[in-house]
Amino acid sequence: MTPHAGARILVIDDEATVRGFLCEALADHGYVVDAAEDGKQAIDKIRRNRYDAAVCDLRMPDIDGLETLAQAKALNPDIEFIMLTAHGTMENAVDSLRKGAFDFLLKPVNLTDLHFAIDRALERREFIERLGLYELSRSIFSTLNEEELYGRIVQSALQVLRADDASLMLKDESNRLYIALSTSLQQEILADTHLALGERVAGRVALLPEPVVINDDVAGDDRFGGVQAWRSINAAIVCPLTMRGQLLGVLNVNRVKSADRYTERDRRNAMILASLVALALGNARLHKELLARLEQLRDTQEEVIQSEKMTALGNLLSGVAHELNNPLCGVLGYAQLMQQEELSGKVRKGVEVILREADRAAKIVGNLLKFARREKPEKKPLGINGVILKTIERKAYDLKVSRVEVKADLDPNLPYVNGDFHQLQVMLTHLINNAQQAMFDSHGGGTLTVRTAPKDGRVMITLADDGPGISPDNVRRVFDPFFTTKGFGKGTGLGLSVCFAIVRDHGGVIRCGGEPGKGAVFTIEMPVASPGTQQAMAGTTGTQTAAAPAEVGGGPAQAGPAAPAQAGTAPAQSASASGQLGAPPAQAGPAAPVAGAAPLAVAVAPSAAPTARAGTVPADAVSAPRVLVADTEVHVQDVLVELLGRMGYRVDTADTGEGALAKIRGGSYDALIADYAMPRLDGRALLDILKAEKPALARSVIFLSSDTANPRLADFAAATGSVLLGKPFDIETMRSTLRRLVSQSGEAPNPTIH
């Protein structure tokens, strides 16, 4: 039995005896044999059927062997011809081989020679097929682009398996098969076809280890009982595509027009092709995943660098702000004192400029401290849709004036997140402000599109505007502190840095994209709350809806202030229209309570507080209250000595905490004004000593600090009931606070922070 058993051989000879002898001999050897009595009949059979080889007589009537060879090769280039003749010459042999014959044998035929020639011809055919597979593998492995790869796979399948129709099905994330590419199916079928594993022919073959040949009506095939064909197919090979035991998809190869049946050799070729295709698909998928991982790694690396940069910068800013606030305290203090004097118009105008610009510098320093001392988010379950709509509502007037239209495409089934309503609203306000100003400055208005959607266990928030966009050079710098493309005085460059920090503190990621001239796109990813939280919230508030966002997660009305949006009162307004960080009160006055110090009461100085002039009460009068001022900065001491002298107080000064303690132990004082951060003996240590040795004075202490945003100081004030004023301070606030403490000497003071 030949190793090529099952190969189809066509015997062409006009002599019936020879034809019958050859057919019987070849059939006994394991071949599938067909016969033709002349060249015309042979061509007709080759046109309708596919043969692996032909044994052909050279001399026949009408169409001789060489003409039959030429026409057969035109119909089937792969068929191998072995020419036979009883009148062989060297010229005939050479002519036959030149026209494509594989071998030339003389009659009477030696069966051993004939079997050897046919086996060699079939081996050559298989070699050519393998070579074709190799060339095709080079083609499909030469690209990692998935869309291009799909086309090459389908074309390779058509060529290798001599088919006229093919389709490639891939497995999606839900373990179902979809059609990635087809040579004949309509788009409607492509879009609607999603097969579960085990469903129809492709779904069943997907569960098998090897390709399946179907040469009959699928309805009559026991392997696919109950499956009705969508269309008529004469023969098919269905190949599962697996790599390392993992199913990638299914390759369907069909003969719709050709009546030829697929053979075992075709199935073996299909198996080789399927393994190559699976490897190519796997490589392309791994390449895509690798690119995604590299991009993720780059993003993570940038986030780490940005986070470390901001942490280091925060520490630097804290120290710088402290050093700036001390000289500003002297400048503002003296300017406020001068403003209360009788001044000429020109001098008064100069003093007002000093006050205004120094106050502006103080606000910038305050913003730097807010950036350096961000409050930790107080997270609780909330619906991000509600935060977005509440923010848009509060910005509605500004957006309308700037002719900016907001389109909100919010997923009503968005999962809940754990977040701080106020901080998230600040973040969104910064982003909306930047988009608003960019579009207005670029073309006097525009459209801002806000979208939300769930993705892979995270909530995605996208804000896309149609402004001028961001250049590639600036995309990686937009979150750097102090980086801004706005004109002088229009921004501090801290807004997006604050956004980055807020999102990071919520466990999320913020990215910037877009192209110059096509608008900017900011994408925020935030982790969803735990499944238990989702169930609990769903049971109390229901799913998020765009129609009722205020009720989500306790509602913005409960999660944040419902007061009118005025500077200094609403978190969302801490970002100005220019994108600057913070919107401090219009006039110097009490600062907002530090986060985390809810019990603290904010003391607001009366706007019409009486002004004490120097000399109203003699400073050396024995009955006047006595105040000790302890501060390392001489100009701060001088401002306070001047102010308190005008108020009629007797004033002593000390440069250190130890010096202040020595004076307190050696004398009697009605009040103490001390810098909290004095070296060697800070405010906490000094207060502990006073409580033990001078309890009455301990209740009349005003601590000064350049960093009242520091949570540690807020906790200190809340725990001890102390009064904490920020540098630079408003002299009216200092005046009213000191009078209150002196007047209630002996009573427990209310903890206050300014």
CB within 8 A of 254, min separation 6: which ones? 163, 164, 165, 166, 233, 234, 235, 236
Contact criterion met (CB below 8 Å) for 694 and 721: no
Contacts 24+ apart (CB under 8 A), 300-303: 302/476, 303/504, 303/509
Averaged pLDDT score across all residues of the chain:
80
Delimiting residues of CATH 3.40.50.2300 domain(s) in the chain: 8-134, 626-753
What own/partner pairs with CB < 8 Å and gap ≥ 24 does 550-553 have?
550/386, 550/389, 550/390, 551/386, 552/382, 552/383, 552/385, 552/386, 552/416, 553/380, 553/381, 553/382, 553/383, 553/386, 553/416, 553/421
387-406 average pLDDT score:
92
DSSP element (H, E) containing 501: helix 495-505
The mean pLDDT of 618-630, rounded to a whole number, is 74
Which of these ranges, 353-367, 498-512, 638-652, 688-702, has the smallest mean pLDDT? 353-367
Distance CA 479, CA 356 (A): 30
Does pLDDT of 555 surpass 80?
no
pTM above 0.75, yes or no: no
CA angle 213, 218, 220 (to 5 degrees): 115
Q: Can you give the pLDDT at residue 457?
A: 87
309-315-321-323 Cα dihedral, nearest 10 degrees? -130
Q: Which CATH number fits domain 626-753: 3.30.70.360, 2.170.190.11, 3.30.360.10, 3.40.50.2300?
A: 3.40.50.2300
Q: How far apart are the C-alpha atoms of 698 and 690, rounded to whole Å?
A: 5
Average pLDDT rounded to a whole number, residues 392-413 = 92
Nearest to 643 by CA among 337, 329, 402: 337
Residue 373: CB atoms within 10 A of its CB come to 20
Fold of 8-134: Rossmann fold (3.40.50)
CA torsion through residues 672, 675, 681, 682, sign: positive
Q: Is the dihedral of CA 394, 400, 402, 405 positive or negative?
A: positive
* Alpha carbon of residue 37 to chain centroid: 72
Phi, psi of 52, rounded to the nearest 5 degrees? -85, -35
Q: How far apart are CA 369 and CA 320, in angstroms?
A: 9
Residue 587: the pLDDT is 34
What number is the average pLDDT over the span 462-490?
A: 77
Q: Summarize pLDDT for 568-606 with one digit per residue, the tens.
A: 333 333 333 333 333 333 333 333 333 333 322 223 233
* CA pair distance 138, 155, nearest whole angstrom: 13
Contact present, 568 and 585 (Cβ < 8 Å): yes
Among positive and negative, which fits the CA dihedral 31, 33, 39, 44? negative
Calculate the CA 691 to chain-centre distance: 55
| Highest mean pLDDT out of 80-89, 177-186, 611-620, 636-645 | 636-645
The mean pLDDT value for 295-323 works out to: 71
Average confidence (pLDDT) over 631-635: 89
The phi-psi region of residue 410 (left if phi > 0; otherwise alpha if psi is between -120 and 50; otherwise beta) is beta
264 — pLDDT class (breaks 50, 70, 90)? confident
Tokens of residue 637, six digits: 């001491």
For the chain, percent of residues with pLDDT exceeding 70: 82
Which of 118-127, 150-159, 542-551 comes out lowest in average pLDDT?
542-551
In terms of pLDDT, which residue wins out, 448 or 146? 448
Q: What is the mean pLDDT of residues 607-611?
A: 34
Answer yes or no: is pLDDT of 205 > 70: yes
User: Residue 541 has what pLDDT?
Assistant: 54
Q: Which two tokens stand for residue 305?
A: 């660098």
How would you list the strands of the sheet with 53-57, edge to edge? Answer: 32-36, 8-12, 53-57, 80-85, 103-106
Q: Is the pLDDT of residue 154 over 80?
A: yes
Alpha carbon distances (Å) from 220 to 216, 217, 240, 255, 256 = 7, 6, 22, 18, 18
Q: Once rounded to an integer, what is the mean pLDDT over residues 487-497?
A: 67
Among the ranges given (25-29, 116-120, 346-350, 676-680), the one the predictor scored with the smallest mean pLDDT: 676-680
What residues are paired with 575 via a beta bridge?
581
Q: Give CATH superfamily name and number for 376-574.
A: Histidine kinase-like ATPase, C-terminal domain (3.30.565.10)
Distance between CA atoms of residues 102 and 100, nearest Å: 6
- Residue 408 confidence (pLDDT): 92
**Phi, psi angle pair for 205, to nearest 5°:** -65, -30
Question: How far from the centroid of its chain's Cα atoms is residue 61's Cα?
Answer: 77
Task: Give the pLDDT score at 26.
Answer: 93
- Convert 533-554 to b/e letters by CB count within 10 Å (16 or more is b): beeebeeebebbbbebbbbbbb
Stronger pLDDT, 274 or 743, i.e. the higher one: 274
As a whole number of angstroms, the distance between CA 638 and CA 327 comes to: 12
Please write down the HEC assignment for all residues of 331-344: HHHHHHHHHCCCCC
- Delimit the CATH 3.30.450.40 region(s) of the chain: 148-289
Give the pLDDT score at 751: 52
| E strand residue ranges, 515-639 | 520-527, 626-630
CATH number for region 148-289? 3.30.450.40
Q: Is the pLDDT of residue 96 over 80?
A: yes
Instruction: Specify the range with the lowest mean pLDDT, choosing from 94-108, 192-206, 564-578.
Output: 564-578
Task: Determine the average pLDDT of the residues in 675-704.
Answer: 90
Residues 281/244, Cβ–Cβ less than 8 Å: no
Q: What is the average per-residue pLDDT within 249-256? A: 92
- Residue of higher predicted confidence among 87 and 26: 26
pLDDT at 508 over 70: yes
**Rounded Cα gap, residues 440 and 465, in angstroms:** 11
Q: What is the mean pLDDT of residues 229-234?
A: 81
| DSSP string of 115-184, one letter each residue | HHHHHHHHHHHHHHHHHHHHHHHHHHTT---HHHHHHHHHHHHHHHTT-SEEEEEEE-TTSEEEEEEESS
Helices (H) and strands (E) in the chain, counts: 23, 24
What is the mean predicted confidence (pLDDT) over 489-497? 69
